């Protein structure tokens, strides 16, 4: 198995632009998580899905952030419009049993 796949690995954009981060979970995993990692705030859970349904989005910072999971093999995290304070590494993880498997992350820089 290729593990959790995220794209792009790096994204540089200008303030005000729309950003879409993508994630392909491990096949057969029924939970999917989006995290954000920054120096100031550490690792934060943004939202998670179970069987493609959003369960808890209380960690989503603002309405500018949205996440979807149209099917079991794909999820997106969208920021519109982006702001410099959104600069961070965004991780996707999928879960089976009691273990979450993390993707390599997308490093987002908003200028």
**Residues contributing to the site for other proteins (CB under 8 A):** 4, 31, 33, 42-43, 45, 48, 56, 91, 93, 95, 97-105
Q: Say which DSSP state 8 is in.
A: -
Q: Which is nearer to other proteins, 8 or 16 (CB)?
A: 8
Do 92 and 37 meet the contact criterion of CB atoms below 8 Å apart? no
Is residue 61 helix, strand or coil? Answer: coil
Shortest CB 1 distance to other proteins, Å: 15
| Cross-strand pairs, 23 | 6, 75
Shortest CB 87 distance to other proteins, Å: 16
Q: Which is nearer to other proteins, 7 or 100 (CB)?
A: 100
d(CA 21, CA 90): 8
């Amino acid at each position: 198995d290729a593990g959790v796949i995220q794209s792009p690995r790096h994204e540089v954009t200008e303030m005000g632009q729309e950003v879409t981060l993508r994630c392909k979970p491990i096949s057969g995993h029924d939970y999917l998580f989006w995290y954000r990692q920054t120096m100031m705030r550490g690792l934060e859970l943004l939202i998670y899905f179970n069987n493609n349904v959003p369960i808890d989005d209380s960690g989503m910072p603002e309405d500018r952030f949205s996440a979807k999971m149209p099917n079991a093999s794909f999820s997106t995290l969208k920021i519109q419009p982006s702001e410099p304070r959104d600069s961070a590494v965004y991780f996707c993880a999928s879960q089976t049993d009691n273990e979450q498997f993390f993707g390599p992350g997308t490093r987002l820089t908003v200028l």
